[in-house]
């Protein structure tokens, strides 16, 4: 079947041009976007491959470092010493301490959720746990979800966390590089998981009581979803996942739906050979949008603030390949325009968050990782 390449939308768009004269990437450089100038301010440095970011109610930030540290960042950008009470992690390849999220009732219970690659019998697997933030440590940390079975590969952990409006927790799982197991629904490979905050399985999950399926599964047929966010209007979960050589996808995972990996894809294997049967198959869902060639997406946020009025309700997606931030304009569930931002900055963007101040915050994935803040320039 002939493939429709949606990146034709992107190539016709104006790209961000650099205004800064200096060849060095320093705090305060200004870039010109389609609607507005954007100043990039360095909030904090010295993070080792930061992966996930969550804002506390007082504006401080919790940031994970993939080697296994959790840091508290003050309002003036100062890094704390590593917090205590964090679980041991499998810090190899793409594994380590990954995402962080606050409980919806954090101001009452102080609970913090972490996703991480957990070592154990058979290798490692994506796990999620929670503990109460008290001073400089997590107290009474306990694991509430474990990927079954573990494996010796060190890629495709997924690991983004997103709380739905009803308080249920979505967890994205990669297929751990074992693509031939992504359509085996009796194990955890390439799925979105939905659990209650205590780890129990909601009774209205689509596979509860169904033989051959994991009851905590919400959707399956995913490759490696490293982005997840709740739509501010509909309350639906949106995810973005890595393709192989091309075929990065935006999906809106629905209960009990199959998103096709590795039976269908808009990419090809790294060898150049076709994946599965092509791009379509009955009973398998089509993506909302895809990129070919790949941008290696990681981290996303719907913008709802007032600092960038022209970006209201836009979807912002970080990219590791091409080192950029992608801005997508939406019409309902359809992407109608794409703009690629900050491409000259030369930083792999791992996570994207809207701050309580309405500015946009980015994590850069590097040995000396940064927290960046985007501010509008009139």
pLDDT at 1 over 70: no
Instruction: Look at residue 305 and tell me if it is in a domain.
Output: yes
Structural contact between residues 71 and 47, judged by C-beta atoms closer than 8 angstroms: yes
Instruction: Look at residue 291 and tell me if it is in a domain.
Output: yes
Output the pLDDT for position 7: 41
Q: Tell me phi and psi for residue 208, to 5 degrees.
A: -60, 125
Output the pLDDT for position 27: 52
Instruction: Look at residue 36 and tell me if it is in a domain.
Output: yes
> How many Å apart are CA 296 and CA 141, to the nearest integer?
32
The mean pLDDT value for 196-221 works out to 98
Instruction: Look at residue 251 and tell me if it is in a domain.
Output: yes
User: Could you list the active site residues?
Assistant: 156
Band (pLDDT 50/70/90 cuts) for residue 86 is: very high
The whole domain housing 171 covers 8-377
Output the pLDDT for position 26: 40
Band (pLDDT 50/70/90 cuts) for residue 378 is: confident
Output the pLDDT for position 94: 98
**Which position has the token pair 């739905």?**
164
**Which position has the token pair 């440095």?**
45
Domain count, the chain: 1
**CATH number, domain at 322?**
2.120.10.30
pLDDT at 241 over 90: yes
> How many Å apart are CA 194 and CA 168, to the nearest integer?
7
Instruction: Look at residue 1 and tell me if it is in a domain.
Output: no
User: How many C-alpha atoms does 337 have within 13 Å on its Cβ side?
Assistant: 10
Q: What is the pLDDT of residues 149-184, one digit of tens each?
A: 999 999 999 999 999 999 999 999 999 999 999 999
Q: What is the pLDDT of residues 138-147, one digit of tens each?
A: 999 999 999 9
State pTM to two decimals: 0.93
Band (pLDDT 50/70/90 cuts) for residue 22 is: very low
Q: What is the pLDDT of residues 261-303, one digit of tens each?
A: 999 999 999 999 999 999 999 999 999 999 999 999 999 999 9
Output the pLDDT for position 322: 86
Give the DSSP H or E segment for 328. strand 324-331
% of the chain residues with pLDDT over 70: 93
Output the pLDDT for position 35: 84
Instruction: Look at residue 256 and tell me if it is in a domain.
Output: yes
Output the pLDDT for position 19: 35
Alpha-carbon distance values, 149 to 20, 81, 113, 230, 343 (Å): 50, 34, 22, 28, 39
pLDDT at 11 over 50: no
Output the pLDDT for position 182: 98
pLDDT at 20 over 80: no
Residue 231 Cα to chain centre, angstroms? 14
Alpha-carbon distance values, 328 to 148, 261, 312, 341 (Å): 35, 24, 11, 11
Instruction: Look at residue 2 and tell me if it is in a domain.
Output: no
Residues in CB range of 119: below 8 A, 6 or more apart: 88, 89, 90
Residue, of 26 and 144, whose pLDDT is higher: 144
Instruction: Look at residue 262 and tell me if it is in a domain.
Output: yes
For the chain, the average pLDDT equals 93
SS3 label, residue 109 = helix
The mean pLDDT value for 43-49 works out to 98
Alpha-carbon distance values, 353 to 49, 183, 360 (Å): 17, 32, 6
The mean pLDDT value for 234-251 works out to 97
Output the pLDDT for position 344: 84
């Amino acid at each position: 079947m002939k493939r429709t390449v949606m990146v034709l939308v992107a190539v016709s768009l104006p790209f961000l041009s650099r205004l800064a004269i200096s060849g060095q990437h320093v705090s305060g450089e200004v870039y010109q976007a389609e609607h507005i100038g954007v100043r990039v301010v360095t909030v904090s440095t010295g993070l080792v491959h930061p992966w996930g970011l969550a804002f506390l109610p007082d504006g401080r930030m919790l940031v994970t470092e993939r080697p296994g540290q959790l840091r508290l960042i003050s309002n003036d950008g100062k890094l704390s010493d590593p917090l205590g009470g964090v679980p041991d992690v499998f810090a190899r390849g793409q594994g380590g301490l990954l995402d962080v999220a606050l409980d919806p009732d954090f101001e009452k219970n102080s609970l913090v959720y972490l996703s991480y690659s957990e070592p154990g019998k058979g290798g490692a697997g994506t796990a999620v746990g929670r503990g109460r933030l008290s001073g400089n440590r997590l107290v009474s940390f306990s694991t509430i979800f474990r990927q079954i079975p573990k494996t010796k590969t060190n890629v495709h952990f997924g690991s983004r966390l997103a709380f739905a409006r009803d308080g249920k927790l979505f967890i994205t799982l990669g297929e751990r590089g074992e693509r031939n197991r992504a359509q085996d629904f009796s194990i955890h490979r390439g799925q979105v998981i939905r659990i209650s905050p205590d780890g129990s399985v909601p009774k209205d999950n689509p596979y509860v009581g169904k033989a051959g399926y994991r009851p905590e599964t919400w959707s399956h047929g995913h490759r490696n979803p490293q982005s997840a966010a709740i739509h501010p209007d509909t309350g639906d979960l949106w995810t973005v996942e890595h393709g192989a050589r091309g075929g990065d996808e935006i999906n809106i995972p629905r209960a009990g739906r199959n998103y096709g990996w590795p039976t269908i894809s808009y990419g090809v294997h790294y060898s150049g050979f076709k994946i599965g049967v092509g791009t379509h198959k009955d009973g398998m869902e089509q993506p909302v949008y895809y990129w070919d060639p790949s941008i290696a997406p990681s981290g996303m946020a719907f913008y709802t603030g007032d600092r960038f009025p022209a970006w209201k309700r836009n979807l912002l997606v970080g990219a590791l390949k091409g080192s950029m931030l992608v801005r997508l304009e939406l019409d309902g569930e359809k992407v109608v325009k794409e703009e690629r931002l900050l491409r000259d900055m030369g930083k792999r963007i791992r996570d994207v968050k809207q701050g309580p101040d309405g500015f946009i915050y980015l994590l850069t994935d590097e040995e000396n990782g940064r927290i960046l803040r985007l501010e509008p320039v009139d």
